[in-house]
Chain A
Amino acid sequence: EVQLVESGGGLVQPGGSLRLSCAASGFTFSSYWMNWVRQAPGKGLEWVANIKQDGSGEYFADSVKGRFTISRDNAKNSLHLQMNSLRADDTAVYYCARGRYCSGGSCYLAGFAVWGQGTRVTVSS
């Protein structure tokens, strides 16, 4: 079964740090870009960051650039989001989502077909 399972969410004070993880199974993790998407309470979806299939490139939304880093371990089929200098407006459910499929030097995106169940991050004093 294709599955993504996030962990690491919780309550953190403004200015603090948190590291989210996403464990992948059921597919060839190293063939896919991976994404983090968040959803603030009662709000819509916001793409946060993604990373190439081999970890050679990372991209971020302006709202988190310079504060968040994304990494992956293809040997362990895991994705991570290191969140520093957290602010109240980072409060959200954070989802990992499978992105572009890469094969033979080309990559293709057909939407985010696989999502994790989400992990909740609350930034509050």
Chain B
Amino acid sequence: EIVMTQSPASLSVSPGERATLSCWASQSVSNNLAWYQQKPGQTPRLLIYGASTRATGIPARFSGSGSGTEFTLTISSLQSEDFAVYYCQQYDSWLNFGGGTKVEIK
């Protein structure tokens, strides 16, 4: 089983600042990696698939990079609506989610 590890577990960022979230896979998942945003009481929302392709309607301030075992989600300038929990998911072999990174207001 591929294990997905996200770091940090939580991140305090001021509005307008850049946030960088990391996700590691225990073995290569190629570029079969997605990122999701989940706000309290809401359904997860797909942000990125294929490691770097933004899903429909996702603002350009969200970008994904990486391949193999190391991946990054960058939010270039945090808006108030971006404070949420972010999950990575590999879909190369079965399906696994990382434990999540909570982005909080500083």
> Which A residues fall within an 8 A CB radius of B?
35, 37, 44-47, 50, 59, 62, 95, 109-113, 115-118
Selected contact of B94 from candidates A37, A45, A59, A117, CB within 8 Å: A59
Given known A-B contacts A44-B87, A118-B43, A113 and B56 have beta carbons under 8 A apart: yes
User: Given contacts A45-B97, A109-B32, A115-B45, could you give 16 more A-B pairs where the C-beta distance is less than 8 Å?
Assistant: A35-B95, A44-B85, A44-B98, A44-B100, A45-B36, A47-B89, A47-B94, A47-B96, A62-B1, A95-B43, A111-B48, A111-B89, A113-B46, A113-B49, A115-B44, A117-B43
Say whether B91 contacts A109, CB under 8 Å: yes
Q: Is the pair B49, A44 in contact by a Cβ cutoff of 8 Å?
A: no
**Of residues 48 to 105 in B, which have CB atoms within 8 Å of A's CB atoms?**
48-50, 53, 55-56, 85, 87, 89, 91, 94-100
CB-CB under 8 A from A46, the residues of chain B are 97
Indicate if the CB atoms of B49 and A47 lie closer than 8 Å.
no
Confirm or deny: B21 has a beta carbon within 8 angstroms of a beta carbon on chain A.
no
Tell me whether A112 and B34 are in contact in the complex, defined as CB-CB below 8 angstroms, given that A45-B87, A95-B43 are known contacts: yes
Q: Report, as a range, how many residues of chain B touch the other chain.
A: 20 to 34
CB B12 to nearest CB in A, in angstroms, measures 19
**CB atoms of A47 and B97 under 8 A apart:** yes
A50 to B50, CA, bound (A): 20
Residues of B within 8 A of A45 (CB): 36, 38, 44, 87, 89, 97, 100
